[in-house]
Structure 1
Amino acid sequence: MMLNRNSHAYDDIISLPHHISSHHPQMPIHDRAAQFAPFAALSGHEAAIWETARRTEERMELDEDAKAVLDEKMAMLQILLPRQPQITVTYFKPDEKKSGGSYITVTGNIKKIDEYEDTIMLVDGLKSFVKEICNIEGDIFTGKLPKTHNIR
C-alpha cells in the first residue's frame, strides 16, 4: 500500500486550537453555509429557458357545420337550464405568456348562460367564454336523459 507523501505535512499544526478573532464577530453558521451555495449568474435564465421550451397548442377554427351544431346545443341548454343538466365542455384556454394555449375538458352541471358576457358557467364556478368552446357533450344531446329531464 502506497502512502501519500503529503499525508503528514500538517502534523505539527493539526492539534493546535482553532483561532477565534477578538476583533471580528464570528459568522453565523447559516451565512457560512451560504458561501458555498451554488451561484446563478443569470437569475431567471433557467425559468426563461423552460418557458420557451413549454409547448402550447394552436386554436382550432371550427367550420360552419360545427358552429351550427354548437349553436343548437347552446339553445337546448338554454331551455334545460333550470334543471342544471350535466355536460362535458371542451374549450380553448389562451396562454397568459405566449401565443397559443391549451384545450381543457371539464364535466359538470350547467348553472348559467350569460349572454351579456357571452359565458357559460358550471355549478362549481368554472366559467368559459362561449367563443372558446369547441365541443359540448352530454346525455341531453343523445336522448338518454333520466325521466326527470324530459322536455314536456
Structure 2
Amino acid sequence: MKKAYALLASISLLIVFIFFISLSLQMSSYYPRQIKDLYLYIQANILATNAKELAKYFLYIAKKQNKECLERVEFNYPNVQSIIRIDYFYSVATCKNYSLAPINQDINLSKDNVINVNISIYLNKDKEVNEEIFINKKLILFPK
C-alpha cells in the first residue's frame, strides 16, 4: 500500500513540476512579443506624426504641378504589407480631376477653404488580429 501512495505522490509531483515549467515558458515568450508590439505601435505613431508634414508637402507639390486639390495619397512604407493613406476632404468644395468645384456658388474658395486631412496608418497587414496596428489621425489645414 505504501508503494502505491509513493507512486501516486511522485506522479502528482511530476505533473505539478511540468505545469510550472510550461507556465514559465509561456511567460518568457510573452515579453518579447509584447516588446515587438510596443515597437510597432511607437513606429506607427512616429509615422503618423511625419505623415502630417507629408500631407502638407503633397499639397505643396500638387500646387506646383498646377493641381488645385488632391483626393487621396496612398503608399506602402516601411514594407509592402504596411499602408499609409492620406485622405483630403474639402469643406466647401469637391475635388474632381485635381480641380476644386464649389458646392455653393456664393463661397469664395480662396478665402473660405479649409482642408480636413485624415491619416490612416496600417502596420502588419495580413497578420493575426492581435498583431495588426492601426492608427488614425485627423488634422485641419488652413491653406494660404
| TM-score, length of structure 2 as denominator length | 0.25
Which structure has the larger Rg? Answer: 1
| TM-score, length of structure 1 as denominator length | 0.24
